[in-house]
């Protein structure tokens, strides 16, 4: 199909090991970028209700000419849909906007613990999975404490937790928790969300040693850790570069040097206080 390996989720569903993030693009830019990305070999496309571009994602998939079954589509819903029936309505809304009758991975976007409805929303997702409306279910920005509640109150672990993660926000504790519970870690803003990570001297040294770009080295770091990064770009050259990270390998020393950039939580978004 293409050169991207697959990661097998706990329920046996295969998910591409790297994908395209689409925030914060509007519908028109998203349509063009998704079409180009699929042409370049991407098969995982990530969107969300909050991005306001699900229609653009659907149009881009249809314009690509690639069979729908080859594309893995992820979307996420906002806190207004936290509830059993509400989560099922969120699915219907996103499916309509995407123009799809099935969503591959549906996520609760933020736990919003002050609302205290994410467990009910999770029960709604479990029902969607049981009804084969979605192929996999998960969460985004959930801490181990939030995940504990899902497990304690429903007995069902998410297949995926999509969290903010890059070499300066390594989330080691969260990753260990995920591994122990069979949850795949997906990284949003994997190359630093427009910050100065890609001009860091350590990243530059490793990139030069491998004759790769800084972004390629950072994305390779994610992949070697077993994470699924979803970098966002609308530039054609960057689309190809970001996908071309499966033909080289970082040494253990490289991995340690990159991990040494960790700021131990400084600068990370706190999902106990932020969410939508």
Q: How far is CA 167 from the centre of its chain?
A: 16
DSSP string spanning 101-162? S-EEEEEES---TTT--HHHHHHHHHHHHHTTSEEEEEEES--HHHHHHHHHHHS---SEEE
Point out the catalytic residue in the list 42, 51, 118, 177: 51
Q: Which residues, in sequence order, are CB contacts of 16 under 8 Å at separation 6+?
A: 4, 5, 6, 7, 42, 43, 44, 72, 228
For 265, which DSSP code? T
CA-to-CA separations, 151 to 43, 122, 145, 155, in angstroms, rounded: 30, 10, 10, 4
Determine phi and psi for 12, rounding to 5 degrees: 90, -5
Question: Other C-beta atoms within 10 Å of 274: how many?
Answer: 10
Q: Is 34 strand, coil or helix?
A: helix
Assess contact for 118 and 108: CB atoms under 8 A.
Answer: yes
**Token pair for 214:** 């800084």
Closest of 240, 237, 207 to residue 221, by C-alpha: 207
Is 118 catalytic? The answer is no
Just list the catalytic residues.
51
């Amino acid at each position: 199909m293409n050169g991207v390996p697959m990661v097998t989720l706990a329920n046996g569903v295969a998910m591409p090991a790297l994908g395209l993030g689409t925030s914060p693009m509007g519908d028109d830019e998203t349509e063009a970028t998704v079409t180009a990305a699929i042409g370049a070999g991407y098969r995982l496309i990530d969107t969300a209700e909050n991005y306001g571009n699900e229609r653009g994602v659907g149009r881009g998939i249809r314009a690509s000419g690639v069979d729908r079954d080859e594309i893995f589509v992820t979307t996420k819903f906002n806190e207004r849909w936290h509830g059993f029936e509400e989560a099922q309505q969120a699915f219907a809304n996103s499916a309509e906007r995407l123009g799809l009758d099935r969503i591959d991975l549906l996520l609760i976007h933020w736990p919003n613990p002050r609302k205290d409805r994410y467990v009910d929303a999770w029960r709604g997702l479990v029902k969607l999975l049981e009804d084969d409306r979605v192929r996999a279910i998960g969460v985004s920005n959930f801490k181990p404490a939030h995940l504990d509640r899902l497990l304690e109150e429903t007995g069902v672990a998410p297949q995926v937790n999509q969290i903010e993660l890059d070499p300066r926000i390594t989330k080691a504790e969260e990753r260990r928790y995920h591994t122990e519970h069979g949850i795949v870690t997906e990284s949003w803003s994997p190359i630093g969300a427009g910050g100065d990570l890609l001009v860091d001297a350590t990243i530059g040294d490793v990139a030069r040693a491998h004759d790769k770009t800084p972004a390629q080295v950072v994305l390779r770091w994610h992949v070697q850790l077993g994470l699924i990064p979803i970098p966002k770009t609308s530039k054609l050259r960057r689309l190809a570069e970001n996908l071309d990270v499966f033909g080289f390998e970082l040494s253990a020393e490289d991995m340690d040097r990159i991990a040494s950039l960790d700021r131990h939580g400084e600068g990370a978004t706190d999902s106990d206080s932020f969410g939508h």
